[in-house]
Amino acid sequence: MAFYFVQFLTGLASAASLFLVASGLSIIFGVTRIVNFAHGAFYMLGAYVAFTLTERFSGAFGFWGGMVVAALVVAAIGVLVEMVLLRRIYHGPELFQLLATFGLTLMVEDLVVLIWGPEDLLGRRAPGFKGAVDFFGQNIPSYDLFLIALSPVVLGLLWLMFQRTRWGVLVRAATQDRDMVAALGVNQKWLFTSVFAVGVFLAALGGALQIPRDAVHHALDLRIIVDVFVVVVIGGLGSIIGAFVAAVLVSELNAFGILIFPKISIILVFLVMAVVLIVRPWGLFGKAEAPARRTPGLTVYPWRPLGPGERWAAVAALIAAATLPFVSGNYALTVGSEIAIFVIFAASLHFLMSVGGLASFGHAAYFGLGAYGVAFLAKMAGLPMIVSLLLGPLLGCLGAAVFGFFAVQLSGVYFAMLTLAFAQIVWSIAFQWVAVTGGDNGILGVWPEKWAASPSHFYWLSLGIAALAVAVLRIIVFSPFGFALRATRDSPLRSEAVGINGKRIQWTAFVIAGTVAGVAGALFAYLKGSVFPDSLGISLSVDALVMVLLGGVETVSGAVVGAIVYKALNIWLVSQTDLSKLVLGGFIVLIVVAFPKGIVGMLETIRNRRRPSLPKTALVTSRIETAE
């Protein structure tokens, strides 16, 4: 019995650190609607700064003071980020802030190595909490007891702050309705800044508090960011109590789960999230989101198919691209093939995200399923390449049909997180099921047949399929189905009132996007000659999101440009420098500030500006004021 009690307490201690970070994220999201990808980076910075301070200043005062000062220092950095960067892009399309914070995260990962060096750092143990307390023969670290006590205290303080201060009342009001607070004449700028500061403070404190039990290193951010998002979503966005309950739930399930299934940790949080979201679409303590507002920043200029001139230009560009094998070497061709494949992948996500209004955080699942589909068919069934290429994507299609059915029941960030959960579940199956997938070591030897083996042939194949995929997706965008999909995105109320079954339309779109992603994955398997669980992973999903956002989420074909720019730059930077993350992150941040509508979005704005100016409507202007 004593063991189970101690295991329970241990779970609570794990929950404490998770809760601190998650509460900060939840507060920030609730008020500013920013999906703060950099939250993990602030957590990591908190740990690094606290390490430096606690090493520099000795004694109990130095240690505890160092913790708090570190959190304050990082909060100040957060304020700077909010004022310099995020303030400029509150008007941007939904999720554009995700792109900005993703860029920051990349930069921070390289910066901490530059500043603190590559080695894992071992911080001091907490003065007065170095040992363990004996409980019927079981040892409980006294620092765990401290953490267990701390998290209800933080929860209580946050509760008091929200219930008893004017600031808290405003924050709660803003969580429910941003526009209303703006209408009340509250200075939203400073409200947002202060909320961001509090959130970052909590993240950094969470990081600092890990020093006595963890090593400080440059991958801390990735380790926590996804788990924290999951906790926030399970609890219900914007709900502090929810974050607390979810942190405890996840930690306890893990603590006891490993006793029965020692391999459960890798997937547990995602399983819990998937179940919770299917049963309770807004998390445990979340409320149904306010009626969907029009996506902020959505352009008022309707999409058009290419005119005759533009169509010829597209064909000309395609022909120009097809001449690459005559002017360059094998390496450029292989890179060209890779870019073409990512054009397909980004275009498929763009279809779901821009046309369907469904931002998936787990789109790599269908890319990877397509790749594994090919690997199974080619390696195990020994089918010819053409057949594998045609049938392999069906695995992506199947996956999208199953997961999409559940995912489209949700919307917004909840949709995004459910897709992420599904992707992670698929990833962990590929990772764990060594007998079938080869696990982490992947499936090797999926090379193209002779007719496609030469780099130029494979390049033409990829380019042709990419052109076909983009053309087909464009045709669908302007087909009746495409209009129905946009109608569902623009106004669920109106589309339902004209007889459109929005869920079924979105489900179909999900399957289309998943299948096209599967096509990209199938080609990718042949390009690389092997398949690894990476191609189902979070970082690939994030890459796709970045490509779409970079190109411009409001455009018809921004994803094509986004994919080319991002992928080419990425490959080039990785080849040129070890600090590719720093440069790439900096580039993304610059793009975000310079082109808040994405690259193609910016070009279109310039073109539209040349048109005779039209009266601005109330709809547009009122939105823009919300963040002022």
Partner 1 sequence: MSMVPTLLSVDGLTKSYGGVHAVRGVSFELRAGEILALIGPNGAGKSTCFDMLNGQNIPDSGRISLLGENTAGKKPRAIWRLGVGRTFQITATFPTMTVRENVQVALVSFGRQLFNLWTSTAQYARDEAGRLLDLVGMGAYAERPCGELAYGDLKRLELAVALANQPKLLLMDEPTAGMAPRERIELMRLTARIAREQSIGVLFTEHDMDVVFEHADRILVLNRGTLIAEGSPEEVRGNPQVRAIYLGEGLVYDARHREGAGA
Partner 2 sequence: MRRSYLLGAGLAIMVAGMANTAMAQSEIKIGEINSYSLLPAFTEPYRKGWQLSVEEINAAGGINGKKLIVVSKDDGGKPADAQTAANELVSSENVAMLTGTFLSNIGLAVSDFANQKKVFFLAAEPLTDAITWAKGNRYTFRLRPSNYMQAAMLVEEAAKLPAKRWATIAPNYEYGQSAVAVFKKLMSEKRPDIQWVDEQWPPQGKIDAGPVVQALAAANPEAILNVTFGADLVKFVREGNTRGLFKDRAVVSFLTGEPEYLDPLKEETPDGWIVTGYPWYSIKTPEHDAFLKAYQAKYNDYPRLGSIVGYQTIKSAAAILAKANSTDPEKLIAATEGLSVPSPFGEITFRKIDHQSTLGAYVGKTAVKDGKGVMVDSVYRKGSDYLPGDAEVEKLRPKE
Given the rule CB under 8 A, which residues bind partner 1?
294, 298-303, 305, 475-476, 478-484, 486-487, 490-491, 493-501, 505, 508, 614-620
SS3 273: helix
- Distance separating alpha carbons of residues 400 and 608, to the nearest angstrom: 37
- Minimum Å gap between C-beta 405 and partner 1 is 16
Count Cβ atoms below 10 Å from residue 278 Cβ, excluding itself. 14
Q: Which of the ranges 211-219, 238-246, 502-510, 620-628 carries the binding residues for partner 2, by CB under 8 A?
A: 211-219
- Minimum Å gap between C-beta 432 and partner 1 is 37
**Contact flag: residue 143 with partner 2 (CB under 8 A):** yes
Choose from partner 1, partner 2, none: what does 482 bind? Cβ within 5-8 Å by kind: partner 1
- Distance separating alpha carbons of residues 217 and 121, to the nearest angstrom: 6
**Contact flag: residue 471 with partner 2 (CB under 8 A):** no
- Minimum Å gap between C-beta 331 and partner 2 is 4
Tokens found for residue 135: 């409980």
- Distance separating alpha carbons of residues 212 and 380, to the nearest angstrom: 49
Contact (CB, 8 A) for 477 and 356: no
Choose from partner 1, partner 2, none: what does 178 bind? Cβ within 5-8 Å by kind: none
- Minimum Å gap between C-beta 288 and partner 1 is 14
- Distance separating alpha carbons of residues 28 and 238, to the nearest angstrom: 8
**Contact flag: residue 149 with partner 2 (CB under 8 A):** no
Query: CA angle 285-208-244, nearest 5°?
Result: 15
**Contact flag: residue 363 with partner 2 (CB under 8 A):** no
- Minimum Å gap between C-beta 598 and partner 1 is 16
Query: Phi and psi at residue 141, in whole multiples of 5°?
Result: -60, 135
**Contact flag: residue 608 with partner 2 (CB under 8 A):** no
The one among 138, 194, 605, 626 contacting partner 2 by CB under 8 A: 138
**DSSP labels for 222-263?**
HHHHHHHHHHHHHH-TT-HHHHHHHHHHHHHHHHHHHHH-TT
Choose from partner 2, partner 1, none: what does 143 bind? Cβ within 5-8 Å by kind: partner 2
**Contact flag: residue 414 with partner 2 (CB under 8 A):** no
**Contact flag: residue 317 with partner 2 (CB under 8 A):** yes
- Minimum Å gap between C-beta 624 and partner 2 is 25
User: Which positions from 487 to 526 touch partner 2 by CB under 8 A, shown as an x/- string?
Assistant: -------------------------------------x--
Choose from partner 1, partner 2, none: what does 424 bind? Cβ within 5-8 Å by kind: none
Considering only residues 522 to 581 of the shown chain, the ones binding partner 2 according to CB under 8 A are 524, 528-530, 532, 534-535, 539, 555-557, 560-561, 564-565, 568, 571-572, 574-575, 577-581
- Distance separating alpha carbons of residues 598 and 556, to the nearest angstrom: 12
Backbone region of residue 491 per phi and psi (left: phi > 0; alpha: psi in -120 to 50; beta: other values)? beta
- Minimum Å gap between C-beta 316 and partner 2 is 7
- Distance separating alpha carbons of residues 162 and 30, to the nearest angstrom: 13
- Minimum Å gap between C-beta 362 and partner 1 is 24
Choose from partner 2, partner 1, none: what does 618 bind? Cβ within 5-8 Å by kind: partner 1
SS3 280: coil
For residue 241, give every residue at least 6 positions away whose Cβ sits within 8 Å of its Cβ, in sequence order, or none: 155, 235, 285
- Distance separating alpha carbons of residues 408 and 401, to the nearest angstrom: 11
- Minimum Å gap between C-beta 11 and partner 2 is 6
Strand partners for 244 = none
**Contact flag: residue 447 with partner 2 (CB under 8 A):** yes
Annotate 395-420 with three-state secondary structure. Answer: HHHHHHHHHHHHHCCCCHHHHHHHHH
- Which runs of E-coded beta strand occur in 380-453? 443-444
Considering only residues 106 to 135 of the shown chain, the ones binding partner 2 according to CB under 8 A are 110, 113, 118-122, 130-132
Contact (CB, 8 A) for 554 and 96: no
